[in-house]
Amino acid sequence: MKIAMIGSGYVGLVSGACLADFGHEVTCVDKSAARIAALERGEMPIYEPGLADIVASNARAGRLSFTLDLAGAVAAADVVFIAVGTPSRRGDGHADLSYVHGAAREIAAAVDGFTVVVTKSTVPVGTGDEVERTIRETNPLADVAVVSNPEFLREGAAIADFKRPDRIVIGLEDERAREPMAEVYRPLFLNQSPLLFTSRRTSELIKYAANAFLATKITFINEIADLCEKVGANVQEVARGMGLDNRIGTKFLNAGPGFGGSCFPKDTVALAKTAQDHGAPLRLVETTVAVNEQRKRAMARKVFQALGGEVRGRTIAILGLTFKPNTDDMREAPSLAIIQALKDGGARVRAYDPEGMEQARPLLEDVTFGAGPYDIAEGADALVIVTEWDAFRALDFARLRRLMTTPVLIDLRNVYRREEIARHGFRYASVGRPGEDG
């Protein structure tokens, strides 16, 4: 099957490479010349474990190519995926659909013969109808079926998620699209991943409802963590005790500095806006958004407390900047708000992240970037774990103690236990656990 993937970012590139790996002939399109040139040289524009190998092997096999020429790729394709960004629109928080409609117009002008156009970008309910209208207005002769096929992959585990998804959701209004879509995902269907056919609007809403539910689950346990701190309970044990109930499940119950990333923050806000517009406000989701927003900066208060209430003139070393490990994505990372609050308090900030520093640099002024945990710890008054990269899970505390001016660890991901840290003479604060020094 011939596939054109419009947008070669975190979703488009992973999806395109994995679909090529299934045996399809995939052309990944982007409007960034630098991105396409890098991909043609075999360089990955994003950090995603395993991606470089799968891109290289499929490019070598002639199944995966990269181009700036959207029209050529679309004309040759049976199925065209739209995987462009849908960021928050400035001002009102609605999803900005300008990239989606821009792509739809370009696709409309280029389609040749019956073509299935699939929106993989996360788009508000009803967008499929609008995309169809945009295509028909641009080219009344275009013979297309517009499908919704939201993507559920997680950055950091994107390839495994794409190849072994919990489910594939396909929303369609035109029955002609059913068979080509089943063909696209046939290898997964053979692996028994459930293929869920729904109406287009239902499919669009499934994606937002799933993300909002997960964001709410995280926010719930974060608030329980705050209560644990007040009453002397342990949030990790509460989460385990809750999660072992099959109806609840253990995932997304790790208390921490609040959710970030390229999806949950914008998708929760956009869903709340859609619901308000339709007169069916989602108050739980609105509250989740508000609680999470406050939480990020509130985490800086833990650092203030651990240093006796004042950070002015103190040096704080931040371990981990990306919104989660195994990605270089800095979008809405909690580290940004935490660092800003520390700087507002007069602290000097140093930071290290295994993969995120290139993306972080333009976002963080007056922050000194170091070469590793021990480099940034030298002369620091406190070390703060913001992102739980594996590389931070077995730190040499004896060495850190020698390097740091004051041995203070604020562990916002509950990576360590108080007893083991205290043994090395460190003051220790974490999230939602009793007996803290913070």
For binding to ligand NAD (CB under 6 A), which residues are involved? 6-12, 29-32, 35, 70, 83-86, 99, 102-103, 106, 121-122, 151, 153, 155, 262-263
Decide whether 28 or 339 has the Cβ nearer to ligand NAD.
Answer: 28
Bridge partners, residue 171, by sequence: 148, 198
Residue 271 C-beta: closest distance to ligand NAD, Å: 12
**Residue closer to ligand NAD, measured from CB, 82 or 238:** 82
Place of tokens 């609050």: 341
CA nearest 65: which of 101, 28, 94? 28
How many Å apart are CA 95 and CA 414, to the nearest integer? 33
Distance in Å, CB of 372 to ligand NAD, minimum: 27
> Shortest distance, CB of residue 426 to ligand NAD, whole angstroms?
35
Q: Which residues are catalytic?
A: 263
The full DSSP string for 363-393 is G-TTEEE-SSHHHHHTT-SEEEE-S--GGGT
Euclidean distance between CA atoms 99 and 81, whole angstroms: 13
Identify each DSSP E strand in 115-265 by its residue range: 115-119, 144-148, 168-171, 195-198
Place of tokens 């939602």: 432
Nearer to ligand NAD, 122 or 292 (CB): 122
Which residue's CB comes closest to ligand NAD?
Answer: 9
Which runs of consecutive H residues, i.e. helices, occur in 246-310?
A: 264-277, 283-306
d(CA 205, CA 261): 20
Length of the chain: 438
Question: What is the nearest approach in angstroms of ligand NAD to the Cβ of residue 420?
Answer: 34
Distance CA 10, CA 193 (A): 22
Least gap, CB of 161 to ligand NAD (angstroms): 9
CB of 42 to ligand NAD, least distance (A): 17
Q: What is the CA radius of gyration of the chain?
A: 23
C-alpha separations of 14 from 26, 28, 180, 241, 416 in Å: 12, 10, 20, 36, 33
Among 385, 311, 318, CA closest to 350: 318
195 CB contacts (<8 Å, ≥6 apart)? 167, 168, 170, 182, 185, 188, 189
Beta-carbon count within 10 A of 190 CB: 8
Minimum CB–partner distance for residue 300 and ligand NAD (Å): 26
**DSSP letter assigned to residue 63:** S
